[in-house]
A and B are shown apart, each in its own frame.
Chain A
Amino acid sequence: DSGVTQTPKHLITATGQRVTLRCSPRSGDLSVYWYQQSLDQGLQFLIQYYNGEERAKGNILERFSAQQFPDLHSELNLSSLELGDSALYFCASSVEQRSDTQYFGPGTRLTVL
């Protein structure tokens, strides 16, 4: 158990819908990272927040957004969902803004029908 929690574990929804994925980092960690894992793309970095502020952005679609709250938990919002958004979404956390060792949560499996 990494100490990172994610909810829900599974999510099934329809195209065009909007969903919110939630992540709680390890106690004491200030940085939260979101990654997408699909069969054809592997693990892809989406976005990083540090202490409530956006710090780095990867190949995150405009339909996707994230935020980190004062209690340091983070939410990833996915809107106008498409079939291709079906994937595993992982949250990771680390202590510092640039902290190399990132600890991953168990992931949320999103299925868009």
Chain B
Amino acid sequence: GESVGLHLPTLSVQEGDNSIINCAYSNSASDYFIWYKQESGKGPQFIIDIRSNMDKRQGQRVTVLLNKTVKHLSLQIAATQPGDSAVYFCAENTPQGGKLIFGQGTELSVKP
């Protein structure tokens, strides 16, 4: 079925380092992408989004990059902190709207 192709790897980084989490999406018609953070026992929390007419968007300590040519999305977290430890999901939305299609998630582990 439809999927945003994200396996569930684990990324382990040292506190203070930068983190990069990658995502491949499958639907070339998707025009909106979101990164969510999910901590244990909680619901997904919105981090940052980007529309398909952009290739980069920056937030506070986070940057999302979009490469439509290869259908690739990445989330960069600067100066990673222990509080950033969580599972990160990318999600896509198509012009038809409504549902978000989620990837499988990447678990980020930050070592102090």
> What CA separation (Å) do A45 and B101 show in the bound complex?
7
Total residues of chain B contacting the partner, CB 8 A: 23
Contacts A43-B89, A59-B1; is A102 near B100 (CB within 8 Å)? Answer: yes
Q: A105 near B97 (CB under 8 angstroms)? A: no
Known: A42-B104, A43-B89, A101-B34. A90 touches B98 (CB 8 A): no
Q: Report whether B44 and A43 are in contact in the complex, using a CB–CB cutoff of 8 Å.
A: yes
Answer whether residue A103 sits at the interface, using C-beta atoms and an 8 A cutoff: yes
Per the CB 8 Å criterion, the residue count for chain A at the interface is: 25
Q: Assess the B43–A58 pair: CB atoms within 8 A.
A: no
Q: Distance in Å from the Cβ of B103 to the closest Cβ of chain A?
A: 7
Contact for A56 among B43, B45, B49, B99, CB less than 8 A: B99
> Are B44's CB and A104's CB within 8 A?
yes
**CB closest chain-B residue, reference A96:** B97
A100 & B98 in contact (Cβ 8 Å cutoff): no
Are A45 and B43 in contact (CB-based, < 8 A)? no
Which chain B residues lie closer than 8 Å to A111 at the CB level?
Answer: none
List B contacts of A105 (CB < 8 A): 43
Give the complex CA separation of A105 and B99 in angstroms: 16
**CB-defined contacts of A55 to chain B, threshold 8 Å:** 98
Those 3 A-B pairs whose CB atoms lie nearest each other, nearest first:
A98-B97, A56-B98, A45-B99
